[in-house]
Amino acid sequence: MSQLKIIMGLKGSGKTKHFIELVTRAIADEKGHIVCLERGNRLTYDLPHAVRLIQSTDYNFNGYDFMKGFIAGLHSGDYDITHIFIDSVLRIFGEQYSAEAEDFFDWIDEFGEKHGVRFTLMVSADAELATERAKKYF
């Protein structure tokens, strides 16, 4: 079973509302720590205070390798994390949807499977761009 869920769509498609609902449900239903990584501070007042909210603008995210190291560091610092939400994952480091993004999705799923961490990613891009490889995470 996949450890990754992707919410993908263009601006105005209702992604953010659904994302907030999923975070709120995770806080209520899951026993471990919940982390949300966001770009800027647009979700600050919409998420429950129990979520560990991290603003990517406080760090110098510059690509997928940095994001992988950051996620591994989060996990190594807190083995009680059960779910990591990432808002606008491609926008955090100014990337467009690509095969490299799909490689990252596969890495996230494998990491989650190995360490028992679930991931939910919001991707601001046309869902029609996703290949079958990525659609399995929808």
Q: Residue 48, SS3?
A: coil
Is the four-CA dihedral 76, 79, 81, 83 of positive or negative sign? positive
CA 3 to chain centre: 11
In angstroms, the Cα distances linking 70 to 57, 67, 95, 129 are: 13, 5, 17, 27
66: its two tokens: 């940095």
Distance CA 4, CA 127 (A): 16
Q: What is the pTM of this model?
A: 0.96
pLDDT tens per residue, range 35-72: 999 988 889 989 999 999 999 999 989 999 999 999 99
Domains of the chain as residue ranges with CATH: 4-135 (3.40.50.300)
- Report the chain's C-alpha Rg in angstroms: 14
First to last CA, the chain: 13
Q: In what order do the strands lie in the sheet with 33-38?
A: 4-9, 118-124, 81-86, 33-38, 52-55
Please tell me the predicted confidence (pLDDT) of residue 1: 83
Tens of pLDDT, residue by residue over 89-132, are: 999 988 999 999 999 999 999 999 999 999 999 999 999 999 99
